[in-house]
Structure 1
């Protein structure tokens, strides 16, 4: 029994230590996975079938963070995950200033256009074919074509001008729409999307932590939420029905505006973040006026109070639901009008990026902790042998009850 308890103790400590190390590195996955679950709940059956074929049996939960794995390997693609504005909360103006046209909103439209190029229009009145046509103005020009920098073969061989596959385009589209719903990725250049806003906050152990606003919203607050709401995080809240009315309104907006609805959604995301953060009564004390624009004074450090953190938590959860809902809306349209049965060839990204994904997956308990488990087993065997020897010695030297009574009688 003692040996068994020691074995379980060693295994438990080992696994917990490993888990902590893993989670500290990858909590950002939780947000992408939650968005993937919401999106899957909004897909129709036929569209889900096409999705599975295109992703070789995987689903949206598996590929959510795919774009980040790619830009970690190919730095030229990192700008595709941002669309900062040269303005303030009074006016949202999304312009792409990257010399290659690799900006978030631009790239979302490009990859949607590639997937939906032969799909029928959601509405004749709005003529979304203009948005669905890759040669249209809403699509980046050849000079600003994200495919040129986003294809791994191009990065390794500049002379190779092949386009990303349909599978690559789909995975990029999912990842980029998710990123758009992190408000600081499309906020303001003045404070570098929150990276120049120094903050302090209390973690779940009441320890004060220094960080910046971008990292706080991107990783650390999500980390706190998963820990704090551990019992409910993986429950049924990640479903499109949680925002059913808004989902229907977004469907109508897409029917009317086509892919240009992305601009409307992005403006809503920034405006709500302005209301919750920049124009918050507490934060306005840190704001300064520069050339008739209201910006955060980056020379000051902001301490995040409980009520502000609570509002940001609520906004993150809502944006996770919105991101999944809007991914489902776009994919339902794409897969309803285009079949991908003949596009199952794996791309360079499938060979490169998914190898990276597999390396990031948690290994089985035995494989990941084999040396510790083997040591524990050997230790258990040694303890068992020792106990067996002690037991034999006890039988050899200690008389039983009958022998003890006889000896006492002889002594008397």
Structure 2
């Protein structure tokens, strides 16, 4: 079986879609599926450096729609060579082009599937400051994107919550079929001293002790502003309250600059920027717990990575996998507002060391049970109509 994955970008800095795609491909490749990727990245960008799959970078793209004249001609010439065309993400040129070429084919054609990666969440239509974008999306849905979604042979979701809320944002929403396939997250490397060395090299300072960790894109959607305000409040209330590390790209964004200003000169606060490889794992292993008070989170790859490093997660109820985590005992969940975030951090602080240790161990067990690569691949193979052990 051959799958063509089509996405706007595979740049790791672009967010969770690129990371989710790579994780999915590793699982599928182990099941003897051939995976190729088409993205709209600049072929000279190096974003596919180190990847084991074949990537066709057909950019550079133009405009925020990420248009490139190279995509449709390439698809017309090559798309019939694949059994499945899987669109990752929506609202940009790649989904329009893939739908246009597949639906125009005559005779035998690949099955067209869409993995929205949370991009049908009603949050984006209701969030403050997005009124004009919401109106634009409604028009775009009726003209183009609704056809992509409703004509697809199947939609693939990473969580049941994502599937449920995706039906609430736009009309008409009349999909043919859907499956919840989840995501599989690879077991992280065990702790070693090279991780601390890598952290020092990338951040410029020694790995601290006794801190809460946020690791992800620094923007308003992630609730980073809530986290900083809640932490500053509790740091005043409890002198022994743990420190705060906010790691990730986006310090030069509006939210990032506001966070930097609030934490400038504050003791026990660290902003190392984006961490990669061993430095990222050092941050996970060194943390007391992981925090994500997001207003919308489709899956939360960093959430699961943290759990696999034996770290409890303190997350909002807008993280789509929060219910499973709370029910399993792998973390704490509260509302995605300032009172909820304060309560979230304070609940963790008031746990005994024994209770924290138990939750840390439980987090790893829950992550292995729910989000292993093997289980996610088996669900995906079943959803696309092939047994996980089928050979091609």
Name the TM tier (shorter chain).
Answer: under 0.3
Question: Whose strand proportion is higher, 1 or 2?
Answer: 2
TM-score, scaled to structure 1: 0.25
- The structure, 1 or 2, with the larger RCO (C-alpha pairs under 8 Å, 6+ apart) is 1
Question: Whose helix proportion is higher, 1 or 2?
Answer: 1
